[in-house]
């Protein structure tokens, strides 16, 4: 689905950059043509500055989103998610980053979660990069306990896993 959304902007590289930022950050487009996160408005000039385009490109992209019913539904309902990866150590949580052999393959999260659960470790958050939006997608898992080295090795032996790392590195 994301591939189709981004493809609609293929001939418009600056607008495509806007779309990618909206998707990456989970920013909504309100029916009034404002870019928002929840109820907080993000000025089009700030978005333009972030990605190096003119503000009018953001304006045009938002207008285009509002004209197409499918895009309007998607960007009217998308939500951002608090990602705990960088604050996990401050909260006493651990972070495992899984690099899959093929991120489009089904069942990767299930396989990894099963191995972790068998060790009596709870998963507090699991965030998988969308392989249609990210060049090098990975699966980030936040757990409630420290991860023993043997568990990292066991996860690394899963057929669908190319590599495993602890974040931040020890």
Q: What percentage of residues in the chain have a pLDDT greater than 70?
A: 97
Q: What percentage of residues in the chain have a pLDDT greater than 90?
A: 79
CB contact at 8 A, 44 and 35? yes
pLDDT band for 3, please (50, 70, 90 cuts).
confident
pLDDT band for 1, please (50, 70, 90 cuts).
low
Judgement on whether residues 73 and 92 belong to the same structural domain of the protein: no
The pTM assigned to this predicted structure is: 0.79
Judgement on whether residues 72 and 102 belong to the same structural domain of the protein: no
Return d(Cα 27, Cα 25) in angstroms, integer.
5
Judgement on whether residues 13 and 70 belong to the same structural domain of the protein: yes
Residue at 54 is within a domain: yes
Question: Between 133 and 79, where is the model more confident?
Answer: 79
Which residue bears the tokens 């304006």?
A: 59
Residue at 83 is within a domain: no
Q: Of 30, 57, 77, which residue constitutes the final position of a domain?
A: 77
Domain residue limits at 136: 88-167
Question: Between 4 and 165, where is the model more confident?
Answer: 165
Judgement on whether residues 64 and 121 belong to the same structural domain of the protein: no
Close Cβ partners of 116 (under 8 Å, ≥ 6 residues apart): 96, 123, 141, 143, 151, 155
The H-assigned helical ranges of the chain are 2-7, 13-25, 44-51, 55-67, 69-77, 108-118, 149-156
Nearest in space to 18 (alpha carbons), one of 80, 91, 42: 42
Judgement on whether residues 9 and 58 belong to the same structural domain of the protein: yes
CB contact at 8 A, 127 and 140? yes
How many domains does one find in the chain? 2
CB contact at 8 A, 142 and 126? yes
Judgement on whether residues 94 and 71 belong to the same structural domain of the protein: no
Return d(Cα 88, Cα 144) in angstroms, integer.
9
Residue 148: how many CB atoms within 10 A of its CB? 11
């Amino acid at each position: 689905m994301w591939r189709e959304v981004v493809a609609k902007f293929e001939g418009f590289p600056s607008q495509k950059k806007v779309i990618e930022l909206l998707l990456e950050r989970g920013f909504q487009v309100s029916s009034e043509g404002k870019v928002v996160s929840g109820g907080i408005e993000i000025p089009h000039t700030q978005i333009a500055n972030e990605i190096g385009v003119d503000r009018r490109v953001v304006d045009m992209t938002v207008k285009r989103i509002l004209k197409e019913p499918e895009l309007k539904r998607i960007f009217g309902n998308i939500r951002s998610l608090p990602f705990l990866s960088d604050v996990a150590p401050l909260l006493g949580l651990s972070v495992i980053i899984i690099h899959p052999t093929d991120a489009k393959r089904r069942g990767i999260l299930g396989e990894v979660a099963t191995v972790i659960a068998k060790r009596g470790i709870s998963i507090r958050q699991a965030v998988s990069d969308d392989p249609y939006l990210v060049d090098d997608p990975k699966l980030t898992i936040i757990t409630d306990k420290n991860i023993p080295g043997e568990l990292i090795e066991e996860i690394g032996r899963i057929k669908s896993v190319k590599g495993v790392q602890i974040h931040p590195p020890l």
